[in-house]
Structure 1
């Protein structure tokens, strides 16, 4: 938010000096002169830096630069934002950009205390057209005055300053990464972050750096948590017995064992902590830190989008390839599973396979959507026939009693016959599509039907007793798929539920 620079109470001399510097004599009269400046500054972090002192020295440099040319009348300062973050994603910088286009903005120029505090890469060059159109100058200490965008030397200097700003971050990142890799490999040091489920963080003595130790910083290490460590051992034991991840999660839920977010609410207030999930068990089984070795760099966070890179998802965590992990040379904490058992658990495969060993191809995979919950239906062999099912988001990790609605099963031959019968309801302005539809109706070729639906982005919406074709109107050339009437015989006859396992759902013949 734009705010005027205030002089501290009681600083009469400072107020006089500021006002006197902005006045000159003209024909025996004192008049105000100079530009009105908006100061912009930034500090990356609030926990590891002092925003107050950083703001002060940046503002002091800015005042020194504009002394004799004008005064600072507004201030914008972002705290807790990296220079890599684009201006649109910094709150104060975004407000400053909006103020630039306001004819009543109250300032004539922008001044910064240091280029790298305000800009990164080519951010300044991207901001330049906006400043030029609205008649706002940009003053930089590195240029010792205003930037002349028509000057090739100033343009080259902006590019050089942007490259130096990027190089500074890259150099610091490389040195920090190399140091953390060495600390993890050679010292087995715990480098921060929440402890894995089954461990807790305890004190490991003073920091080896004498300066850090004098400040009171200490090292930490992992030790087994008496409440949760036995369950980690139990999970690995069940996996080595051949149990699937879903069955392990279901047994934990049925035993009412608190899940990781419920066992540590202090670090997980944003999670419900209600039950175990497949991904939770899978993450525990895949974590090599349970072998007692310290492992660093298993995950990385994508950088925030900037003006210099293709915009991406900010803060997205992804797993790094295992050759890039930093694994300690020797055990750093007590192991909950031996290294041989951990490696053996990674090779366990509890995936269900057909008893006859035949690999089957399902023609409509990815084309069917459940009309009840909107999820994609998955392929499933039903009594030797190709079929598709939807469990409405439920998995075998949860007890069957928690499933409020039965699963939906549809045989493939039934879907194909109803889809062929409904093709004539599709309309399109493209004559080639109409010819394809006529050919499909003539040949009744199932493989060609699947290819047609995928090419033209059409999905099959499956209800309990009917189905319909639903084109993606943003990508498909098909403009209409009217709901069929009773005279078109597109309804699916309701059959009785299976008596053996009614909780599994309804199978339609």
Structure 2
């Protein structure tokens, strides 16, 4: 027996006559819809009944707003409990749980019990009416049942809620909460359809056009319908000083720090079907597909998980025909062969001037890399900004092959050299405040004094 476990056993035997010292652990999943005093009270009452006659609770650990699916190390109070259990002079000898489903999910119990047992700390459960012993087959069967029940409770509640929200959207067209889309604001829609909620004074909400922002949503769709680029739309909005969604509604966007239009914001508006007047729920986030790529001229099928109302539930800001036509628009030209372009050194080229990673960029029909020093097409280029840095991939690979001939294989496309750079954490540094890359000849690569230590290659 290890000295730590032996000391823990002697400490428990010493206090046996006066009762064990217990640490209580409980949890409630939400802060907005649960009362801490009530939830903590009933869980602690169950725990005290479990240990009655065996000891008293001397420490309390209670997590608020944590899902049971989170491991204990990611819950603040649970992590503090486990850290205290590792201390030789911990103030408790055992841990008591208010309810299994509140504390554990799936097979989490095994890991927690094993960690506490190694440190000589017992774990008591109301369902076991005392301490749990893994060598007891009855306890093992009980834990399997409780773990399965905890997982089933989560899955059942999730299925019921999602199914109900799906019906409420498709059949009733109900607004189910969240931030209203840019261009809309919330308006009162009468008493809540649930009688109990209505008696408590809860009201329904619906979307109505916001006089300040709705005209700009219509303008965005009109401009895009004429074939204007998304970047051009963003630039004009920024030039006019039109507040972007995070600036127009700061109360619901406190987590956003930037206050300017970007391409991704425009794309999100153009892809949102709620602007056609239909209520949509359970969208899996905006598509990350570039706006210049071809998109289907049909809406995503309901089988993908979306729920869409069968009729209009709020005033539309764009017509259905215009919305569908915009989804298939593009401003860029497709590749000649229709394939996917590959950039071998993607993520390995860094700008010496600003420290940013160079973007993969197709330059004059070849793979290359570009740094715009933080400039985006949603803004006009400041006159004081340094010139863009361009470098061709074939020039980089030629110099790398000369530098590392042993890494060149038959039919080499540069992948072996790129893998070597990544595995050794090497970075290509190109550009500079007083140097430019000239198209007349490929640049040269010079290694630093210690490649493995510095982790960089300097490109002149």
TM (norm. structure 2) is 0.82
Are 1:98 and 2:83 matched, yes or no? yes
Query: 2-side partners of 1:38 and 1:483: how far apart?
Result: 56
Query: 2-side partners of 1:363 and 1:55: how far apart?
Result: 56
Match of 1:452 in 2: 416
Q: Is the Cα–Cα contact under 8 Å of residues 350 and 429 in structure 2 kept in the other structure?
A: yes
Q: Is the Cα–Cα contact under 8 Å of residues 428 and 457 in structure 2 kept in the other structure?
A: no
Q: Is the Cα–Cα contact under 8 Å of residues 125 and 131 in structure 2 kept in the other structure?
A: yes
Considering only aligned residues, what root-mean-square deviation do their CA atoms show, in Å? 3.1
Match of 1:249 in 2: 234
Query: 1-side partners of 2:95 and 2:455: how far apart?
Result: 57
Is there any run of 5+ residues in structure 1 with no aligned partner, and where? 1-30, 302-318, 427-433, 441-446, 485-489, 492-509
Are 1:344 and 2:321 matched, yes or no? no
Q: Does the residue aligned with 1:48 lie in a helix, a strand or coil?
A: coil
Are 1:61 and 2:46 matched, yes or no? yes
Are 1:292 and 2:260 matched, yes or no? no
Query: 1-side partners of 2:412 and 2:381: how far apart?
Result: 39
Query: 2-side partners of 1:32 and 1:220: how far apart?
Result: 62
Is there any run of 5+ residues in structure 2 with no aligned partner, and where? 1-15, 287-299, 436-442
Match of 2:203 in 1: 218
Call closer, same or farther: CA 1:450–1:138 in 2, change over 3 Å: same
Q: Is the Cα–Cα contact under 8 Å of residues 343 and 360 in structure 2 kept in the other structure?
A: no
Query: 2-side partners of 1:413 and 1:134: how far apart?
Result: 60
Query: 2-side partners of 1:131 and 1:363: how far apart?
Result: 50
1:205-238 CA-to-partner distances (Å, cap 9, x unmatched) read: 0001111100011100000000100110111111
Query: 1-side partners of 2:154 and 2:244: how far apart?
Result: 39
Give the alignment of 1:21-60 within 5 angstroms: 33-60=18-45
Give the alignment of 1:267-278 within 5 angstroms: 267-278=252-263
Q: Deviation at 1:73? A: 1.4
Are 1:155 and 2:155 matched, yes or no? no
The counterpart of 1:410, out of the listed 391, 414, 428, is 391
Match of 1:375 in 2: 357
Are 1:73 and 2:50 matched, yes or no? no
Query: 2-side partners of 1:396 and 1:201: how far apart?
Result: 33
Query: 1-side partners of 2:182 and 2:91: how far apart?
Result: 55
Call closer, same or farther: CA 1:262–1:60 in 2, change over 3 Å: same
Call closer, same or farther: CA 1:64–1:345 in 2, change over 3 Å: same
Corresponding pairs, count: 415
Q: Deviation at 1:481? A: 8.4
Q: Does the residue aligned with 1:401 lie in a helix, a strand or coil?
A: coil
Call closer, same or farther: CA 1:387–1:456 in 2, change over 3 Å: closer
Bigger Rg, which one: 1
Give the alignment of 1:31-430 within 5 angstroms: 33-299=18-284, 323-352=304-333, 366=346, 368-372=349-353, 373-382=355-364, 388-401=369-382, 404-411=385-392, 414-415=395-396, 418-421=399-402, 423=403, 426=404
1:266-291 CA-to-partner distances (Å, cap 9, x unmatched) read: 11223234210011001001100000
1:50-75 CA-to-partner distances (Å, cap 9, x unmatched) read: 11011111111111111111111111
385-394 vs 45-54, which deviates more?
385-394
Match of 1:468 in 2: 445
Match of 2:289 in 1: none
Q: Does the residue aligned with 1:328 lie in a helix, a strand or coil?
A: strand
Q: Deviation at 1:388? A: 4.0
Query: 2-side partners of 1:362 and 1:435: how far apart?
Result: 23
1:160-205 CA-to-partner distances (Å, cap 9, x unmatched) read: 1011011011101100000000000001000000000000011100
Call closer, same or farther: CA 1:352–1:257 in 2, change over 3 Å: farther
Query: 1-side partners of 2:76 and 2:236: how far apart?
Result: 47
Call closer, same or farther: CA 1:69–1:228 in 2, change over 3 Å: same
Call closer, same or farther: CA 1:103–1:455 in 2, change over 3 Å: closer
Q: Does the residue aligned with 2:429 lie in a helix, a strand or coil?
A: strand
Q: Deviation at 1:87? A: 0.8
1:136-182 CA-to-partner distances (Å, cap 9, x unmatched) read: 11111111111112112101211210110110111011000000000
